[in-house]
Amino acid sequence: MASARPTPFDACHAAVPATLLAGTALLSMLSVQPVYVALSLAGALTFSLVARGGRATLRGLRWQLPLLALVCLANPFFSASGSTLLLKVGPRSVYAESLAYGATMGALMVAVALWLEGAAAVLTQDRLLALSPRRARSLPLVASMASQLLPQMLSRARTMRATASACTAAGARLGLRDELVRTSTMLLAWSLEDSVERADSMRARGWESGRPRTCYRPERVRGRDAAALAGIVALLALCAWCAWETCSGWRFYPRMSDLGPWWRYLPWAVLAALPATLSLASSRDGGGGPRGRA
């Protein structure tokens, strides 16, 4: 079954992008080294532009880049360590090593956020449900419902506050505490009312019937999917070994270590560029056509 709106990796099984993006994000979080973080950030930004589009990526960068700058500039004042003195701000000394560590951690946070946002655009809700085992359908359902209900509650809270602010017949505006109590009470009543309807709807669809739920498999693992998974796992293992060898000998303090041999960064560069490359290839193919079975 092809989706109405083709997405990257639509032509392959959901396990392929899930393994690739989960492994890349995990290695990005564990590889705290400037070159690895820079490559991860470049790959995540490119993948986000391809998978989500320029407008959505720029909208996310509006809060991610200030966060990067904040971590980069604040770290030298909380961790005044290093051997290369740049300047003095009052009693505090700003060292190049502390500045580099803050920039690395800020870029790492932005890179991981971009990887997760790109993964959310590729791994839609139905593909995540297809990945879960038959006996573990409740966990993805609860996670998907929570991801839907939280924005809904925030939107309702904004609507109620705007409505209360526009109503001038009720007298003077309440204080902050009273306004929070009123909003939370109304949200609770609204949510309880919706929960009854949602429970009836789920019960009508067979939940809590006492019988094992059957499921329709919209995707199947084909030979090329298995080959792609094997290649991705091998590349992840190679990247993990190279990152371990490089990061185990890297130090920010008191003086930054040597970067090490260049070839250790080559597998990571390939891995960071792989999601965007495969996304571009799948978009040129028009989504890849059907990937499931009737």
Mean pLDDT of the 17-23 span: 91
For 25-77, what is each residue's pLDDT tens digit?
999 999 889 999 999 999 999 999 988 888 888 988 888 888 888 888 887 77
Please tell me the predicted confidence (pLDDT) of residue 253.
83
Q: Which of 173, 126, 117 is nearest to 14 (CA)?
A: 126
Backbone angles phi, psi at 95, to 5 degrees: -105, 150
For 80-109, what is each residue's pLDDT tens digit?
777 777 777 777 777 888 888 888 989 999
Please tell me the predicted confidence (pLDDT) of residue 292.
44
pLDDT at 228 over 50: yes
For 166-225, what is each residue's pLDDT tens digit?
776 656 666 777 778 878 888 888 888 888 888 888 777 776 666 665 656 667 778 888
Please tell me the predicted confidence (pLDDT) of residue 71.
85
Please tell me the predicted confidence (pLDDT) of residue 12.
80
**Joined tokens for residue 126:** 């139905």
Backbone angles phi, psi at 245, to 5 degrees: -65, -35
How many Cβ atoms from other residues are within 10 Å of residue 217's Cβ? 10
Please state the domain extents for the chain: 15-131+221-284
Residue % of the chain over a pLDDT of 90: 22
Is residue 249 within 8 Å of residue 19, measured between CB atoms? no
Backbone angles phi, psi at 53, to 5 degrees: 100, 160
Does residue 290 have a cis peptide bond before it, meaning omega lies within 30 degrees of 0? no
SS3 172: coil
SS3 226: helix
CA distance 156 to 183: 9
Q: Which of 138, 108, 103 is nearest to 32 (CA)?
A: 108
Longest dimension (CA), the chain: 72
